[in-house]
Structure 1
Amino acid sequence: MRFVVDVNLSPEWAQLLTEQGHSAVHWRNVGAVDALDDDILIWAAEDDRTVFTADLDFGAAVATRGLKAPSVVQLRLDNTDPLVVGTSVLQSIAAAGEALVGGAILTIEPGQTRLRPGLGTIAIDG
């Protein structure tokens, strides 16, 4: 999968995702750190990347606007350190698999992961 990691998360996420065979860039390496969420959404859609973030605004924008791209992985965790939660986050992404395309929203919370592919919500663990 291809990801753009939002500025509210450590660049270590891009490194971890890349080490696991994904294509990942941190937003600060491709755009202004004070860019609007819409600018990031547009760039991600044009570059066929999933937004990886701890900001719930991205998921809300995709859901309320009915966007078909980009997909969003949103972390709703107290601790977003990849050294602490990286393994479980990667497992959730792997479990979502190809369903994580076309405007899907993967929400990762303590003890629960939900995938919202266009229509409805699917619990994939927890």
Structure 2
Amino acid sequence: MKLLIDMNLSPRWSNVLAAAGIEAVHWSTLGENNASDLEIMAYAGTNDYIVLTHDLDFSAILAATHGEKPSVVQIRTFDISPDVIGKQIVAALNQMASELEAGALLTVDTNRTRLRVLPLQQKH
């Protein structure tokens, strides 16, 4: 599993994830700081990364495009510090690894973790 950490998260996430045995790179080491979410998603998809973000735009992109990859992990808490939610994120990544490799949207907040398989389908 390889994670691409979005600009809206601290580069410290790289070390927290690496300590848990998860390969991770912060976008600031790969591309422009002002890159669009679409550019980040394209890079992640082409290079087999899972996007870790605090931004709801990535799930909106998946919904609008009916994308099957890349997987997206959304942190939905007020405090997005790896010191506060890092252990919960690592646990969710490990628990949902096979689903994320296949294509999924994983949302993690302090109370629960929700998984949706890609492509996202509209509820009727």
Corresponding residue number in structure 2 for 1:57: 57
Corresponding residue number in structure 2 for 1:2: 2
Aligned counterparts, 1:1-126, within 5 A: 1-118=1-118
User: 1:58-102: per-residue Cα shift (whole Å, max 9, x none)?
Assistant: 012112211111000000101111011111111111111201134
Structure 1 stretch displaced more, 25-34 or 96-105? 96-105
User: Share of identical aligned residues, percent?
Assistant: 37
SS at match of 1:78: coil
Dislocated runs of 4+, deviation >4 Å: none
Contact 2:62 2:119 (C-alpha < 8 Å) held by counterparts: no
Q: Name the count of aligned residue pairs.
A: 121
Q: Distance in 2 between matches of 1:61 and 1:31?
A: 19
In structure 1, the gaps of 5 or more residues are 122-126
Shift of 1:110: 2.2
User: 1:39-69: per-residue Cα shift (whole Å, max 9, x none)?
Assistant: 0000000110000000010012112211111
Q: Which has the higher contact order (CA 8 A, sep 6+)?
A: 2
TM-score relative to the length of structure 1? 0.90
Corresponding residue number in structure 2 for 1:124: none
TM-score relative to the length of structure 2? 0.91
SS at match of 1:114: strand
SS at match of 1:101: helix
Question: RMSD value over aligned CA atoms?
Answer: 1.5
In structure 2, the gaps of 5 or more residues are none
